[in-house]
Chains A and B, each alone.
Chain A
Amino acid sequence: MSLPLTEIEIFLDFTASELSISQNSISLETRFRDIPTWSSLNALIYISRINEETNVLITSGDLSEIDNLGEIYQLIKERKHGHN
C-alpha cells in the first residue's frame, strides 16, 4: 500500500498506467467501459491493483452502478476514509 489514489492526478496517472493508455486520453469524465483496453481481464487487474495500493475493495455491483472514472475515484476516496 503506497500510492495516494485519493489525489486526482495520481489516480489518473495510475489508471492510465494500469490500463496501458496515455494519461492525456482520460479524465474523470471518461466512461471506463469506453476505454479501448477495458476488458474482463484488465478490469480485474485494475480492481486488484486499486486494492493493493489502497485496501479498497470494489465489486462488480459497484461498477454496474457507475459509468465514469470520476465515480471510481469517488468510491476510493469514500472507502479509504472508512465508509466501505
Chain B
Amino acid sequence: MAITKHRGIKIQGIVNVIPELSEDNLKLTIIDENERQKLVNHTGIRYRRISKLPVKNLFSRGIKEAMEITGWTIDDIDILICVTQTTELSIPSVACQLHGDFNFNQQTICYDINSGCSGYVYGLHTIASLLSTINSKNPRALLCCGDVSTHLLSSDDTSTQPIFSDAISVTAIEFNQNDDTITARFNLETIGKGQSAIYTEINAQNKKIMKLNGIDVFAYSVKYVPQNIKALIETAQTPDELPENYIFHQANKLINDAIVRKLNLNIDRVPQTLSLYGNTASASIPITLCTCLNEIKNWVLLSGFGVGFSVASALIKLPDFVPHKTIEI
C-alpha cells in the first residue's frame, strides 16, 4: 500500500476553466420524459458542460489566469504536469505543446499523466514528490488537469450522456525547503481488475467512444474508496490533521452518497458541485474545493476514484489563503 507523506508543499492558487455551453438533463431526449426528473434526483446532475475547444486550449487559458492570481511568471515554473485522457494529439504531450506555446524554461520538467477521475490526487502526489528533489529554495509547479470527453460519448448512450461533462483546472503548488512540517499525506491504490468499469472502444463507424458500467463503478467505489480514506486518516499524527471537509471526485450522487454513508460523514462537510457541472473527471476535485476554500482553514481530505480502477486520497494542509477563480469561457 503506497501511503506517503510530504513536507513543505503548499497549494498557492487554483483556477477552474468551465465551458459556458451547458446541456440540461431535464431536456435530454434520449431519456424518457417521465424518467428525467428521477435521473436528475439520483445522479445529482442537472447540467453538463460542453467544450467546443480542445483540452489544450482550456489548459492554456487556465495557465494564463493562474499566473495572474498568483503573481508568478512563466520563468518561475519548475514543473508543468498535465493530467488528461483526452488530448487532441497523442504526440507530443500536451505539456510539451504548452511548454512551446508559453516558452517555459528549458529546465522545466514537463510531461503528461494519463489518468481520469483519480488524476488530481495522482498529479498532486507526483508534484509533491518532484518538487522536494529540485535544488532551489522555493520551486514551483503547475498542475493542469481535466478532460474534454463529451465528444467521446455515443449520442444514444443513456449511461454516459447524462453524466460526463467538460472542464479543466490549474493548480499552482510551491515547495518551501525550510518548512519541515508535514503538509500532505497520500494513499494511492489501483484495482486493475476493475479496468472494464470505464473504458473506450472503437465502434462500427471507427469512432472512439467511452463506455461506462455504472453498476461496477458503484461497486468498486463503495468497496474500495472508504477503506482507502480510513487507512489514510489513520496516519494522521495529531487531531489537528483530521479533516473538517471532504472533497470527493464528483462521480454521481448515488456513488458519492454511498461513500458518505460508509464513512458516516456529516453531509454538510462534503460539498457537491454535481448539479451545476456534472462529472468533470480529474477537474471535479479542484472545482468542488474552490466552493469552500474560504471556509477551510486547516486540513482537507481529497479523494479521487474511477477509471482504472484507480483510487487516490490525500490529506492536505491548506494555507490560510488560497487565491482561486472559476471562469466560464
Contacts and interface: CB of A to CB of B under 8 A. Distances in A.
A60 B198 CA distance: 13
B215 A63 contact: yes
B261 A60 contact: no
A69 to B, nearest CB: 16
A61 B254 CA distance: 20
Contacts of A52: 258, 261
B35 A41 contact: yes
Given A45-B42, A48-B258, A57 B222 contact: yes
B297 interface: no
B255 to A, nearest CB: 8
Interface in B249-285: 254-255, 258, 261
B214 A40 contact: yes
Contacts of A39: 35, 158
Contact of B214 (A44, A51, A57): A44
Contacts of A57: 219, 222-223
A40 B214 CA distance: 8
A59 interface: yes
Contacts of B31: 41
Interface of A: 39-41, 43-45, 47-48, 51-52, 57-61, 63
Interface of B: 31, 35, 38-39, 42, 158-159, 213-216, 218-219, 222-223, 254-255, 258, 261
